[in-house]
Amino acid sequence: MPPKLTVFFIVEPPEYEVMACFLAASLRQQFGDQVALIGYCPDVKLNDVSPDVKAVLAKMSCELRSFKVAGRFDPPYPHGNKILATLEPRDTEFSAFFDSDILCLRPNLVENIIKEGCVSLTPAASMIWGNSDSWQLIYDICGMEIPDDRIKLMRQKGDRGRIPYFSSGLFTFPEQYRTPDGQSFPEVWMQVAQTLDAHPEVPSKRPYLDQISLPLAIQKSGLQWNILPEEQHFILGGKLRGSALPEDREIFTVHYRIMKVLKETGLTPLARKMLKRHAGVKRIDKISQSDDDLEGDDE
């Protein structure tokens, strides 16, 4: 059976190309051949991707593709790279975007993170951007009503419901879905993001544009949001910086944000072990060495 899901992520030198290799290895470890893997690099940086990284990704059957950045956002908006990558064509039934600074920890199933007619994702950890007036403004700009649904953010105190606000660090969506006028979900998202980006009254929209536009795009596309369990996208750092993973919960996926957090949480050995299993090396810069050179390498 061909894969039902493509998982894609950003491979951008220097920092995110290394993280992407660890992510790819963890996806291969925990999902196996259930998923196709694609790493996307901004076209202007494709020639800067390390040959070692290219070799590691190839070992794990992960395609490396580029996308155009010039003229897509003005001025350039690096956080928008995930929107630009989402717009790229893929031929599986579903696609999933994972931020590069994510690691998969335990065996998982595609069915756990997809749902027909839905964008599946988790609430944001917190809401730094905006207030009630700001949200009213952006819905008005897009000619939309604020939804009645309220959600609880991942790290909020108390049970008061908030306007839907989601993390854009991990989400899945149906690739073949089209609106009545023929738009895909990524096309709707790009349209909403550019509309808000161009409007002078939207406050402090950068770097939050991808996340503030996401719930509007889901609603405008006619899809529903399917809120995943936190265990499918457990966000480290922030209030949890320095804390161990909870032992009484089955955490499938962690969003560690910076490599130092991965080390603090004791997950670096696991990341290297998965890379060793699926790429043959524990360190990316050793991919060009022979098997004899690598024998006994326990770094």
The fraction of the chain above a pLDDT of 70, given in percent, is 93
Considering only CA atoms, which of 193, 123, 178 is closest in space to residue 151? 123
User: Quick check: 99 pLDDT over 80?
Assistant: yes
pLDDT band at residue 171, thresholds of 50, 70 and 90?
Answer: very high
Residues 6+ apart with CB under 8 A from 202: 134, 137, 138, 141, 196
Q: Residue range 257-268: average pLDDT?
A: 87
Per-domain residue ranges of the chain: 5-290
User: Quick check: 290 pLDDT over 50?
Assistant: no
User: Quick check: 13 pLDDT over 70?
Assistant: yes
User: Quick check: 295 pLDDT over 50?
Assistant: no
User: Quick check: 160 pLDDT over 90?
Assistant: no
Q: Which two tokens stand for residue 142?
A: 């897009």
> For the purposes of burial, counting CB atoms within 10 Å of the CB of 291, is it exposed (0-12), middle (13-18) or buried (19 or more)?
exposed
| Per-residue pLDDT at 16 | 93
Least confident of 51-55, 79-83, 174-178, 240-244: 240-244
> For residue range 190-232, what is the model confidence (pLDDT) as tens digits?
999 999 999 999 999 999 999 999 999 999 999 999 999 999 9
Q: Which residues of 237-255 are buried (b: 16+ CB within 10 A; e: fewer)?
A: beebeeeeeeeeeebbbbb
User: Quick check: 174 pLDDT over 70?
Assistant: yes
| Per-residue pLDDT at 238 | 59
| Per-residue pLDDT at 285 | 82
Residues 6+ apart with CB under 8 A from 120: 113, 114, 171, 172, 173, 225, 226, 227, 228
pLDDT band at residue 240, thresholds of 50, 70 and 90?
Answer: low
| Per-residue pLDDT at 194 | 97
| Per-residue pLDDT at 85 | 98
Tell me the three state secondary structure of residue 204: coil
User: Quick check: 163 pLDDT over 50?
Assistant: yes
User: Quick check: 73 pLDDT over 80?
Assistant: yes
> For residue range 30-60, what is the model confidence (pLDDT) as tens digits?
999 999 999 999 999 999 999 999 999 999 9
293, containing H or E segment: helix 291-294
* End-to-end C-alpha distance for the chain, whole angstroms: 37
| Per-residue pLDDT at 169 | 96
CATH architecture of the domain 5-290 equals Alpha-Beta Complex (3.90)
User: Quick check: 243 pLDDT over 80?
Assistant: no
